[in-house]
Every structure is written in C-alpha cells, then in structure tokens.
C-alpha cells in the first residue's frame, strides 16, 4: 500500500480551501485508501487531503483504541451541520506539526454530513474524541490548522519549531544524488 509523504507546516498547501468532490470514483477511493495507510503508518487518528498535497475535500479518521479492531472512516465532502454551544478543552496534535500539542476549545458535540466511499450520504452525531477529530480534519479542508485556534504567541512558537525541524532535515539530506 502506498504511503504518501505528509506535508509539514508551515506550507502554502496547508492554507488552501479544498474543492468539493463532484463524483466519488475509483481515483477518490484509491486516494482514501492511500490516506488511511499513511495515517496508520504515521501513526495518527485522522488525516485530511491537504496534508498529503491533495486539494480535494477528503478526510480519513480512525479513533479506535489501541488494540481494538480498526474502525476506519472515509469522509468525502464532510461538513458540520450543527455544533453544541457547550465547548470543551482537549489537547490536540497534528501529523503536519510533529511533537506539537496544545489545548484547543471546541464544541463538545456535533452533527456532520458526508459521502462515503460509494457516494452515499450519511449524517452522524459525534461527541468526545470523534467530534474533536472531525472538526480538526474539516478545518484542514478550509486551510485552518489547530494552532490557528490558539494564541499568536503559542502559534509562532509552534511554527518556529517546525522551521527548525525542516532546516535540520534539509541539512541531513545528502548534497549529491
Ligand atoms: Zn491535523
């Protein structure tokens, strides 16, 4: 299974408003499968298309506990239909910001709509970690990172950490092919 390279922030590709998918075809299904493989490999509990340099509205999620059977979700054109006025604080991380964790306040419960890998429309009510993850991933489709929800000071600290990480990786690469 293809493991896709993950785009690390800051990167213009993470700031794009992604395009709705018109038809759920084989190319969409193949991308969702590759995104799931990439997410499990990382490992992570959610991944959005811009994190693998794709500008379509695609998300994969699996919030099953470690050791429990996998519960992969493939979401095409996901949207939040309703969000509770009650908000909760949870620590968040992101595969595009390795080793960066901050508390983020978001609605506790949501109702979301999406198309599955066969193109059928679903609505789900979610709370806890799943609600958190869906909101985080839909944000990605609108070019929003979780650090956009925290103070500018913390955001700048996170981005400067990422720039150092990228510089260190660039230095490690051999200068000749
Ligand atoms: Zn993320």
Q: Which residues are catalytic?
A: 137
Kindly give the distance from the C-alpha atom of residue 175 to the centroid of ligand 1, in angstroms, as a whole number. Answer: 31
Kindly give the distance from the C-alpha atom of residue 163 to the centroid of ligand 1, in angstroms, as a whole number. Answer: 17
Question: What's the whole-number average pLDDT of the chain?
Answer: 96
What are the backbone angles phi and psi of residue 31, rounded to the nearest 5°?
Answer: -65, -40
- pLDDT for 175: 67
Tell me, which fold does domain 12-172 have in CATH?
Answer: Peptide Deformylase (3.90.45)
Closest to 7 in 3D by CA, of 42, 53, 56, 59: 53
Kindly give the distance from the C-alpha atom of residue 136 to the centroid of ligand 1, in angstroms, as a whole number. Answer: 6
- pLDDT for 9: 97
Kindly give the distance from the C-alpha atom of residue 49 to the centroid of ligand 1, in angstroms, as a whole number. Answer: 10
Q: Give me the long-range contacts of 134-137 (CB less than 8 A, separation at least 24).
A: 134/46, 134/59, 134/61, 134/75, 134/78, 134/80, 134/110, 135/80, 135/83, 135/106, 135/107, 135/110, 136/46, 136/92, 136/94, 137/46, 137/47, 137/48, 137/59, 137/61, 137/75, 137/78
Q: Kindly state the average pLDDT of the residues 94-98.
A: 98
Binning pLDDT at 50, 70 and 90, where does residue 66 land? Answer: confident
pTM for this prediction: 0.95
Q: Kindly state the average pLDDT of the residues 45-65.
A: 97
Q: Kindly state the average pLDDT of the residues 111-128.
A: 98
Is 124 in a helix, a strand, or coil?
A: strand
**Contact predicate 37/131, CB 8 Å:** no
Q: Kindly state the average pLDDT of the residues 109-132.
A: 98
pLDDT digits (tens, 9 = 90+) for 20-50: 999 999 999 999 999 999 999 999 999 999 9
């Amino acid at each position: 299974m293809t493991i896709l390279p993950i785009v690390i922030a800051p990167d213009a590709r993470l700031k794009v408003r992604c395009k709705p998918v018109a038809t759920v075809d084989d190319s969409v299904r193949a991308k969702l499968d590759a995104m799931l493989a990439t997410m499990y490999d990382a490992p992570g509990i959610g991944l959005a298309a811009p994190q693998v340099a794709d500008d379509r509205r695609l998300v994969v999620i699996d919030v099953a506990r470690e050791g429990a059977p996998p519960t992969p979700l493939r979401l095409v054109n996901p949207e939040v239909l309703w969000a509770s006025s009650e908000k909760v604080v949870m620590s968040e991380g992101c595969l595009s910001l390795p080793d960066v964790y901050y508390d983020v306040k978001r609605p506790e419960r949501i109702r979301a709509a999406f198309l599955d890998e066969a193109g059928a429309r679903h609505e789900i009510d979610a709370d806890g970690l799943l609600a958190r993850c869906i909101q985080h991933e839909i944000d990605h489709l609108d070019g929003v990172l979780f650090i956009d929800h925290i103070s500018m000071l913390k955001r700048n600290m996170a981005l400067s950490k990422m720039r150092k990480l990228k510089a260190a990786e660039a230095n490690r690469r051999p200068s000749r092919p």
